[in-house]
Amino acid sequence: MIVIVDYDMGNVGSILNMLRKLGAAATVSHDPALLKGADGIILPGVGSFDHGMAGLNERGLSALLAEDIAPSGTPILGICLGMQLLTCASEEGVLPGLALIEGTTRRFQFSPDAGLRVPHMGWACTTPVVGRQSGSLAERLFRGTDPEQRYYFVHAYHVVTTDPADVLATASYGHTFTAAIGRANVIGTQFHPEKSHRYGLHLMRNFVEFCQLRREAVA
């Protein structure tokens, strides 16, 4: 069972529909027992950093995710704001993040003559990063995807990791930015797989398989 975290901050319906289309058992919940017993966790997110962390804190889910579920090896996928919440902090707010991957979330800053709007909205080609510490995880997440893979982004902030090896993929908007992060069993995508049609479907299939392999390994 894959559990989508319910904290009033995400596009959970589309994610749930995509998982069910893939034949994965999935549900939406904030029940700690259900989350602890899950084969995989998806942390969605649309909105502000502090609002998202407050929603997790109020439900007692921040400590559960950071101190119990993540150390257990259960695969976690943060999407958009959910990815940003995996970091230590954000320029958007004052609350600390989950700190599952060291880094900060920063606002896009462009000169007025650059002609670039913030937030960044739309499709962008995304390049997996392989051949270093994060390589095997990037290969697992993006395995079998189209070399010209494109994903749908809606964001004003982007993640800057402390360790470059935690970057799984990059994209470009004014400059190269981090499109996906990961370390061990914790993954984040700045883009929305659930809005990215066949590209997102394939990536989500890879995540489901990651969860299945983890379940079989501990069975």
Total number of domains constituting the chain: 1
Beta bridge pairs of residue 204: none
Q: What is the pLDDT of residue 145?
A: 77
Q: What is the pLDDT of residue 218?
A: 77
CA distance 52 to 20: 25
* pLDDT tens-digit map of 88-113: 999 999 999 999 999 999 999 998 88
Range of the domain at 76: 2-218
Catalytic site positions: 80, 192, 194
79: three-class secondary structure by DSSP: strand
> Mean pLDDT per 10-residue run, the chain (219 residues)?
92 93 96 97 94 96 97 97 98 97 96 88 92 68 83 97 95 96 96 95 95 84
Q: Which two tokens stand for residue 69?
A: 């579920």
The answer to whether 38 and 2 are in contact (CB under 8 A) is yes
Share of the chain above pLDDT 70, in %: 97
Q: What is the CATH number of the domain that holds 43?
A: 3.40.50.880
Q: What is the pLDDT of residue 138?
A: 85
Q: At what angle do helices 197-218 and 12-21 cross, to 10 degrees?
A: 70
Q: How far, in whole angstroms, is CA 47 from its chain's centroid?
A: 14
CA distance 75 to 184: 8
